Amino acid sequence: QVQFVESGGGLVKPGGSLQLSCTASGFSLEDYAIGWFHQEPGKEREVVGCIGSRDPRTAYVDSLKDRVTISRNVPENTVILQLNDLRLEDTGIYYCGGVLYVADCMLGTRFYSGWGRGTQVTVSP
């Protein structure tokens, strides 16, 4: 069974940082690319960035590329999303999911095979 579990969210002040984790089971990170998405209540899930499978290249949405970093630990089957210089608009639920082809990773949610239930990030003074 393919599963994703996000963790690491919480309350943080503007300008602070959080490190979110995505632990996958049922497959290898070298078989699927992993994407991180951000969703505000009542809005569509929007891509944050991706990391490839066999070739672990990363890509980020332009609006966040200077404040986020994605990395992975293959033996632990875990992908990390580092969020820096957090702003009020970063508040929301962060999800991770798997996609078969890295070329599809940044193209929205339609190609993803599975998702976790998300972890809540709240940025507030």
Tell me if 18 sits within 8 A of 9, measured CB to CB.
yes
Residue 67, pLDDT > 90, answer: yes
Tell me if 21 sits within 8 A of 91, measured CB to CB.
no
First to last CA, the chain: 40
Cα 67–94–59 angle (5° rounding)? 45
Amino acid identity, position 111: F
**pLDDT mean over 117-123:** 98
% of the chain residues with pLDDT over 70: 100
**Pairwise pLDDT comparison (1 vs 49), residue with the higher score:** 49
pLDDT tens figures, 86-97:
999 999 999 999
Selection from 72, 82, 61 nearest residue 29 by Cα:
72
Residue with token string 């009020």: 88
**pLDDT mean over 119-125:** 97
Residue 102, pLDDT > 90, answer: no
